[in-house]
Amino acid sequence: MPMNKQSEDLVKSALLLVDLQNDFCTGGALAVADSDIVIQTANKAIELCQKQNIPIIASQDWHPANHLSFASNSGTQVGDIGKLNGIAQVWWPDHCVQGEYGAEFHPELNRDAIVEVFTKGENPQVDSYSAFFDNDKISQTRLHTWLQQQQITQLFIMGIATDYCVKFTVMDALKLGYNVDVLIDGCRGVNLSAMDSELALAEMSQKGATLLTTDSLQ
């Protein structure tokens, strides 16, 4: 029995792919380990979702070159921790600059399957880990409105990075009332500290997300 038959169930779902971009993959500015596995897992999840008419959507980190989360623009070192406009900030290498190769989705990702893309991180003054809100929680992307228009109330979420953009996206989704399943085999983290991804998953679970593997979509 498929666990989610989009046509028959009352609950409408979407698969949300978080930041599957070149800069977060091998060779990129902010690459996570095993990004090739993430892309393969995404393609498998896409195939399984397409069979059930579950739409595939994606977030895209999309920074202007002058973004203040870049150490190069802030007089800080990569990996430094501090505050940007009063909000906790890690300083990153330049990454996912609008229009550049690093910001594009990975070439091996089945990009044709993606029906809607939600960009984030365009305001140079504030970082945006979540696909829903900037880190200041003031500005929001089109994602929540779009999901409401589609009457989608359940999300399968996977991607990069477990300890930043996946975590913040999952937490906001839960706060907004979505039912969230995290496809953990399709997530990898930055792990500035070794346990960060595990801790992030534990937090997501504790707040109400279900941790699944992609084969449970079958």
Q: Does 165 bind ligand VGL (CB under 6 A)?
A: yes
Cβ nearer to ligand VGL, comparing 17 with 56: 17
In the residue annotation, 120 being an active-site residue is answered as yes
Return all residues near 174 (Cβ < 8 A) that are at least 6 apart.
180, 204, 207, 208, 209
Q: Does 152 bind ligand VGL (CB under 6 A)?
A: no
The length of the chain is 218
- Cα end-to-end distance, the chain, whole Å: 8
The Cβ of residue 85 has, within 10 Å, a number of other Cβ atoms equal to: 11
Among 70, 92, 118, 133, binds ligand VGL (CB under 6 A): 92
Minimum CB–partner distance for residue 96 and Zn ion (Å): 5
Among 25, 38, 147, 161, binds ligand VGL (CB under 6 A): 161
Rounded Cα distance, 8 and 201, in Å? 30
Helix (H, G, I), strand (E, B) or coil at 154: strand
**Please, which of residues 122-151 interact with ligand VGL by CB under 6 A?**
129
- For residue 120, what is the enclosing H or E element? strand 114-120
Point out which residues pair with 60 in neighbouring strands.
119
Q: Does 97 bind ligand VGL (CB under 6 A)?
A: no
Task: State the binding string over 50-79 for ligand VGL (x if CB under 6 A, else -).
Answer: -----------x------------------
Rounded Cα distance, 171 and 133, in Å? 11
**Please, which of residues 98-127 interact with ligand VGL by CB under 6 A?**
none
Which residues would be at the binding site for ligand VGL (CB under 6 A)? 19, 24, 61, 92, 129, 160-161, 164-165
Active site residues: 19, 120, 165
